[in-house]
A and B are shown apart, each in its own frame.
Chain A
Amino acid sequence: MHQSLPSLLFPEYRRRVLGLLLLRPDEALHGREIARRTGLPAGTITRELTKLAEVGLLKRTKRGNQQVYSADTTGPIFTELASILRKTSGLADVLVQALAPAAPKLRLAFVFGSVARGQETGGSDVDVMLIGDLGFREAVELLHPCQATLGREVNPKLFSASEFTDKAATEPFLIDVLAKPKIFLIGNAHDLEELVGA
């Protein structure tokens, strides 16, 4: 059984909390907000946040009568750790932010291929499926800066919604993509089913 690099390095909860806060060093969030955004139970998260604050990875400050947590950017390994998270579990985050300007034009966006399957090697590219009314040139311009951040080549595969719907059931390439794991960036599995079934 292949274990993905980020899950081997960090326990799941820690990875999600650090991924959220270290990649948004400007945000200070309350425990409940962190639980909501990471999809983790609020009770467990308090213990995790306390531990991370004790070792100096997170900063705990008071905002009104609330405790809020943020990345401690003055910590000795903040830069390195943020970089590791960005290249591993933060990958989706980096792509979502890059695609944000084109989000209104996109029905769906997801990572497929070896990165989505957690089977990437050092030289693996990031395959990104984009479905919507975007130009190829625009997609390349948006995603190109991610290559330096992620340390990997990013390959967009851009289809219009009607083209994707028409070919989803018959094209072996799309059948393969649909059957394998994906990391959703815009939209979700339900939206994809709707599009394919439409």
Chain B
Amino acid sequence: MPMTLKNLLGLSLDAVAPDKAHIGKLLAAAGRNIADAKLQGLSTENRFDAAYKAIMQLAMVALNANGYRTMTSKPGHHQTAIQTLPTSVGLAPAKVMVLDALRKQRNLSDYSGDLVPDAAAAECLASASELLTHVRAWLAANRPDLL
């Protein structure tokens, strides 16, 4: 399993030491973003963005716990963070497929001004909440020292 992430070293991933404090900060930030994504006073766009941010922070937790981080100097680091989730924390490919579709929705709204539909914002929140549960459970089972 770690072989796959190792193969991406220098291509899209850097090696780092797993860091409990770093993980603690990211988990707290993801929790705040998920709470914000539920605020009905915000626009659909901003609720989507908050939930998407949580997804990214959780993917960073997943990589850090395995001793990696994405190389932000390389294009496509969001894609790398999402697509390594099956290897980093054993996320089901069907869930990764949805997360990747959300990533594309975000690109289209950020760079082309596409409207974010309610259904996309609702799914982004549901996916972020599920990922938080999944990552916490993975840490508890595999790296309780980092929680």
Measuring CB to CB, which residues of chain A are less than 8 angstroms from any residue of chain B? 125, 134-137, 139-141, 144, 153, 155-160, 163, 167, 171-174
Interface positions, chain B 104-138, Cβ under 8 Å from A, are: 104-105, 108, 113-115, 117-120, 122-123, 126
Which chain B residue lies CB-closest to A140?
A: B101
Which residues of the partner chain B approach A125 to less than 8 Å between Cβ atoms?
104
A125 to B122, CA, bound (A): 23
Cα separation A174 to B101 with both chains bound (whole Å): 20
Give A144 to B108 CA distance when docked, in angstroms: 17
Known A-B contacts A137-B98, A140-B98, A141-B94; the reply to A160 vs B113 at CB < 8 A is: no
Choice from B104, B118, B123 contacting A163 with Cβ under 8 Å: B118
Partner of A174, one of B97, B115, B123: B115
Q: Contact: A173 with B101, CB < 8 Å?
A: no
Q: Which residue of B lies closest to A143 (CB)?
A: B101
Q: Residue B115 contacts which of A140, A160, A173 (CB distance < 8 angstroms)?
A: A173
Q: B101, A156: Cβ atoms under 8 Å?
A: yes
Q: Are A155 and B108 in contact (CB under 8 A)?
A: yes
Among candidates B104, B113, B117, residue contacting A153 with C-beta atoms closer than 8 Å: B104
A-B contact count (CB 8 A): 49
Please report the C-alpha to C-alpha distance between residue A49 and residue B115 in the assembled complex, in whole angstroms: 46
What CA separation (Å) do A173 and B116 show in the bound complex? 10
CB-CB under 8 A from A134, the residues of chain B are: 119
B94/A136 in contact, CB under 8 A: no
Contact of A167 among B115, B120, B126 (CB under 8 A): B115
Interface contact B97-A159, CB-CB below 8 Å: no
Report how far A171 CA is from B119 CA in the complex, Å: 17
Q: Verify B98–A157 contact, CB threshold 8 A.
A: no
Q: Which residues of B contact A159 (CB under 8 A)?
A: 117-119
Q: Report the separation of the CA atoms of residues A64 and B112 in the bound assembly, to the nearest whole angstrom.
A: 57
Shortest C-beta distance, A146 to chain B (Å), equals 12
Listed A/B pairs (9) with beta-carbon separation below 8 Å: A136-B120, A139-B119, A144-B97, A158-B117, A158-B120, A159-B119, A172-B113, A173-B113, A173-B114
A155-B101, A163-B118 given; 15 more Cβ-contact pairs under 8 Å: A134-B119, A135-B123, A136-B98, A136-B101, A139-B119, A140-B97, A144-B97, A158-B119, A158-B120, A159-B117, A160-B118, A167-B115, A171-B115, A173-B113, A174-B115
Residues of the B chain whose Cβ atoms lie less than 8 Å from the Cβ of A137: 98, 123, 126
Residues of A within 8 A of B122 (CB): 136
- B36 to chain A minimum Cβ distance, whole angstroms, is 19
Chain B residues with CB below 8 A from A140, complex form: 97-98, 101
Given the known interface contacts A144-B97, A172-B113, the answer about A160 and B119 at a Cβ–Cβ threshold of 8 Å is yes
Report the Cα distance A159→B119, complex, angstroms.
Answer: 7
A193, B58: Cα distance in complex, Å: 43
Contacts of A156 in B (CB 8 A): 101
Q: Which residues of A contact B101 (CB under 8 A)?
A: 136, 140, 144, 155-156
Complex contact B97–A141 (CB within 8 A):
yes
User: How many angstroms between the C-alpha atoms of A157 and B123 in the bound complex?
Assistant: 13
Residues of chain A within 8 A (CB-CB) of B115 are: 167, 171, 173-174
- Give which listed residue, B94, B117, B126, contacts A157 with CB less than 8 A: B117
Q: Which of A125, A140, A141, A159: most chain B CB closer than 10 A?
A: A140
